[in-house]
Structure 1
């Protein structure tokens, strides 16, 4: 294992058989802060031109990983390479990467064009080249018409575009984005998600995006690295992460889940206190404790006209205790017993007309169920059917 050093001033020559320009390789990287391990022997290869998101809750190591790629932190062990060159000990300004932060850090006394040109001026780029590159960067960010304005005269979304232009004007092989949309309101954030993905596709450069927002990661990424305790829990495309999570931790963090804890019985089912939940692909040992997961959008709900009937498999009876209108969907919160509740979501046009206090029956298909070892649920971070008051 390679140990980080800080004696280098220049980027070293490319390694034999070097990776393509824009490829990022994180090789068994570890980072400690005192006794705490922020990143734990992390290995990840990001392909040239890929849009990858590092997704996870606070403290999972995603921002530390980004800061090590940028050069603001040095790994205690392991190696980081960009375009086939090791970055160990290379200062941030000599790395072929640029970073966009949540706090855009624009100079308030400079115009938009001056902010974008600042980095090139520090590199003593010829004035004629600076002018052309600033115009190109502002065009990419759709901010050319605001070149003479000061940052205080811009909206939050416009300031974010200026920060992007300032990073792109240097023509980096890799663009690092540290929760850059976190300060925007919801509608603008969703608009910028589309714009960022379109911009990345047009430029073809590598984007490494750090976020705790699953919606951002799902909507933009070619692949998502779900991080947990300094390691990658799952690395896959959005469809796989959502539909086939590798663990209860991932299942709970990405989207919402209704979890049923119980004993695994013959036929691939969890016999919980409130429902016999079948999972046709289950492979857990009979007699072990399992955790069955069903997403709210797979749960149907209707008035229970036979409340005394015995429950069938993949069916749960309870009392409706909450109804929320989410626009395109209706959300129902159902109390199953003293220790658990359940969420169901139905498209608004076909949602049943139910009132709080109604007896309801919820059901779902066996193929909509995922089954995990119960010991993996301790750190699951999503909706885990909590007790109801």
Structure 2
């Protein structure tokens, strides 16, 4: 995948390096070329280009208003771009209504017909297409088997749990055998445990069927657990697209670093020829000189890389070092199951989060004087801007 910043006319040829294996006509390939969408004066999607491979599970991830749902709706045909081209399985679908695109969409609201049985709900789309009755019966049974719901075929949706209704919505979409399945935050109405179970089932189902899945979510956990690639969106553009390991460990910007997972940010003048940031809390040094030629920078450290010890037991030499080490007062401790989380006040207006595996977590109490430290290899360096505050979690100020 590549992103585009230039203007791409609707007739623009697809670059060779964006053509999916088997050619751009491969079933399930989706190519967006320079698509733009305005709502009045508001720019929702800004000259976005994206290639989705056949059979890929890709997530569009970002906060509300970043353009992810608008992008999905343009692929589905519920919205038309103001500029650019959309190709599905090699064919431009500009101007085509949803029912003429080989896609189906699953929404957060399942939109099942309450007066119909499960089987009738699943069969509805096939009936609208005048599919022969014998074929309908066979395909409905197959679609219900895919989601392990055949035994509920004669029930009404109101007799099913939320997770079961979600499975029926999936079955209804899959029975039409689309080349691309679009999912718009379909798990948002489920409780946490059921949502996590459905994440696993969705990924297994997609792997089994080989259908292209385009999944829209604001939940980073969903995107990280299911996706072959994740496209993190910001202001109608793609900030970074990569697999889960890459976007988590090697974010392309402070915005991505803040949005995916949690970060402790330190801001200040760049020091040591671009290898460190001189923050008010101390010098934060990275492993390489990432900020050469930059005046101010941000250093980011994930909570799981922060070591925490009582000041009374800290190594005197390490505790005194101003590099990648800060002193503070413990504000709170949270038990997260497999990990313990510590909130530490490190200055009048800044706090820091440390997270340690429960078996090795130190026994500390609120009010304890502590020392937090981390290795240079775990420091990410970015030019200073407003990206972190714009995109995701930043440790709250001390209170």
How far the C-alpha of 1:339 sits from its partner, in A, is: 1.3
Q: Does 1:110 align with 2:116?
A: yes
Q: Which of 265, 268, 273 is the equivalent residue of 1:259?
A: 265
Distance 1:233 1:18 in 2: 24
Give runs of aligned pairs for residues 17-166 of structure 1, distance below 5 A.
18-166=24-172
Displacement of 1:284 in angstroms is 1.0
Contact kept? 1:291, 1:377, Cα under 8 Å = no
TM-score computed with the length of structure 2 as normaliser: 0.92
Residue number in structure 2 paired with 1:388: 398
Partner of 1:305, secondary structure, is helix
Structure 1 residue 43: deviation in Å?
0.2
- Answer yes or no: is the 8 Å Cα contact 1:327–1:348 preserved in 2: yes
379-388 or 354-363, larger mean C-alpha shift: 379-388
Name the CA distance, whole Å, in 2 between partners of 1:378 and 1:187.
Answer: 30
Shift in Å, 1:382: 2.4
Deviation for aligned residue 1:140: 0.2
Instruction: Report the Cα distance in structure 1 between the residues aligned to 2:392 and 2:10, rounded to whole angstroms.
Output: 37
For residues 39-68 of structure 1, what are the alpha-carbon distances to aligned partners after superposition, in whole Å with 9 as ceiling and x for unaligned?
A: 000000000000000000000000000000
Asked if 1:296 is matched to 2:303, the reply is yes
TM-score (norm 1): 0.94
Kindly indicate whether the alpha-carbon contact (under 8 Å) linking 2:10 and 2:33 is maintained by their aligned counterparts in 1.
no
Please give the root-mean-square deviation of Cα atoms over the aligned residues, in Å.
Answer: 1.5
State how far apart, in whole Å, the 1-side matches of 2:121 and 2:393 are: 44
1:185 aligns with 2:181: no
Distance in 1 (CA, whole Å) between partners of 2:388 and 2:375 is 26
- The reply on whether 1:206 has 2:212 as its aligned counterpart is yes
Matched length: 377
Counterpart position of 1:330: 340
In the alignment, structure 2 segments of 5+ residues that lack a partner are 1-7, 12-22
Render the CA deviation track for 1:1-21: whole Å, top value 9, x for unaligned.
5469xxxxxxxxxxxx64311
Counterpart CA distance in 1 for 2:322 and 2:389 is 30
The structure 1 residue matched to 2:362, chosen from 340, 352, 368, is: 352
Q: State whether structure 2 residue 224 is matched by structure 1 residue 218.
A: yes
